[in-house]
Structure 1
């Protein structure tokens, strides 16, 4: 069995550590009620108070009387083993494929692909995520942008497929607004004589 790469990141809560893992490692998101092997045992009767899975991370919160200094190495080893058995994890609530698609798309929009869009004055929000198809609404400077299609497919869709390989389609709608009838011209200042 190949070890799944992971590394810890601190959170604002000193009792919680975010363990970053490759996208798509676990086929679920949200709070966990059961995990394989020692990790599951620690969740039910040990130092772990809660586990929550994100598309690219596992958040583990310690019980009040425990510290990462003491429990951390055991939890790291148990998590590494548990990640090798992705289908033995149990979510707190039943998840649908639509839930997984929505979570994966939200993760993409919260990450570097969404940062890229926001850095140019645009915004992308989820309209729908069902039947392996997703739709986002582009607004701000993305509205009527000639590069929006490239951004949609080269940045958003490629990242979404990493997290949700069963994706059939990603499409975008634009925020209703005024459509330009021609090119936008910027005035140039006259050079001084």
Structure 2
């Protein structure tokens, strides 16, 4: 297993750069073959391209409708960086800290 973490690509909201340790990726360029989960996203049109850099993998969403974090397919929500607030997950009202949900 290779440790990776996502970073947004400045000026390209349709892209996500997955940072990997330098030297672990065996090639650079557009990936012709992909692991099954990524191949499924490319095959169903979610991803337009997966490109390998020396220390990153850049995924590009297929042009088309823009999704919000709430309406995107789960596979895309999981790959999208948190909002500026740092929250992960659906938006909505939040309980004040220390308060429990009532039933």
TM-score normalized with structure 1 length:
0.34
8 Å contact kept, 1:47–1:62: yes
Q: CA deviation at 1:66?
A: 5.0
* Matches of 2:66 and 2:25, distance apart in 1: 26
Are 1:23 and 2:22 counterparts?
A: yes
Are 1:4 and 2:2 counterparts?
A: yes
Spell out, residue by residue over 1:46-93, the C-alpha distance to the aligned partner (whole angstroms, 9 max, x if none).
3111110001000001012354733131x58xxxxxxxxxxxxxxxxx
* Matches of 1:68 and 1:19, distance apart in 2: 20
Paired residue secondary structure (2:32): strand
Q: 1:29 to 1:5 in 2, by over 3 A?
A: same
1:72: which partner in 2? Answer: 77
Spell out, residue by residue over 1:99-140, the C-alpha distance to the aligned partner (whole angstroms, 9 max, x if none).
xxxxxxxxxxxxxxxxxxxxxxxxxxxxxxxxxxxxxxxxxx
Count of aligned positions:
73
Spell out, residue by residue over 1:20-46, the C-alpha distance to the aligned partner (whole angstroms, 9 max, x if none).
011122211011122011111111223
Where in structure 1 do 4 or more consecutive aligned residues deviate above 4 Å?
none
8 Å contact kept, 1:15–1:68: no
8 Å contact kept, 1:31–1:50: yes
* Matches of 1:16 and 1:68, distance apart in 2: 14
Q: Which has the larger radius of gyration?
A: 1
Bigger fraction of residues in helix = 1
- Over the residues paired in the alignment, what is the CA RMSD in angstroms? 2.0
8 Å contact kept, 1:34–1:43: no
Gaps of 5+ in 1: 77-193
1:40: which partner in 2? Answer: 39
